[in-house]
Amino acid sequence: MSISTKTMSMPSTPPLPAFYDSLDASLNEAWRLLADGLTDRRAAFHAPVVASIDLQGHPTARTMILRSADRERRTLTFHADNRSAKIAELRARPSVCAIAYDAGQKIQLRISGSITLHLNDEIAHRAWAGSRTMSRLTYSVDDAPGTVIAVPTTLPAPKLDMVNDADSDAASEEPDLVANLGRKNFCVLVVHIASIEWVYLASQGNRRALFSWVGSEALQAAWLQP
């Protein structure tokens, strides 16, 4: 049986993005995706997975909402309950790796850095002041996150009334008493970025790059074999 030599119509390959062969443009795109994650709830970088080492020395990870991405300061921030396991773990080993893959853009970012925790300083006060009522209520429950409970908690009715106002973003108009119920449990986790590893998938050849500030404030950028 002979193999047909008739020309088959091949699916056309999508055009390559401008950042494909540019380290500078890839880093710009990485920060653009992080910025997107702040405003677009459906964006992959809205909720990256943040990994750390637990108190037994084992790897652990959880999804967290990205709250800020500051290119100048080279920081990301996340919010957490100060009583949660991750905070105890991060006090013992203050470094994390945050990772997300945007399937639409075909880009993975793996971001590593050291962290600082903020409970009673300006950073925490400002973050709390900017939080929605719905978010604040999650910090007001009596049991610490991870506590074994007999019955799952439902937010009490008076607090639920506040939830109905949550979409208005009028945090400053709430009665202080309700707004501040969870304040003592709220903390901000700032990731001071040491490196961003970039992966872009393309049929013409994947691209992988490492942007690193390790040991120096100066950016070191290099392509890596994917």
Ligand X SMILES: Cc1cc2nc3c(=O)[nH]c(=O)nc-3n(C[C@H](O)[C@H](O)[C@H](O)COP(=O)(O)O)c2cc1C
Nearer to ligand X by C-beta: 64 or 162? 64
Burial, 87: exposed, middle or buried (Cβ in 10 Å; 0-12, 13-18, 19+)?
A: buried
**Span of 2-10, 18-26, 63-71, 155-163 interacting with ligand X by CB under 6 A:** 63-71
Least Cβ distance, residue 159 to ligand X (angstroms):
19
Least Cβ distance, residue 168 to ligand X (angstroms):
21
Least Cβ distance, residue 79 to ligand X (angstroms):
5
**Span of 33-41, 61-69, 113-121, 211-219 interacting with ligand X by CB under 6 A:** 61-69
Residues binding ligand X: number (CB under 6 A): 15
Q: Which residues pair with 51 in a beta bridge?
A: 61, 97
Q: Determine, following the binding rule CB under 6 A, whether residue 156 of this chain makes contact with ligand X.
A: no
Binding mask 71-100 for ligand X (x = CB under 6 A): -------xxxx--xxx--------------
Burial, 177: exposed, middle or buried (Cβ in 10 Å; 0-12, 13-18, 19+)?
A: exposed
Per CB under 6 A, residues contacting ligand X are: 47, 60, 62-65, 78-81, 84-86, 145-146
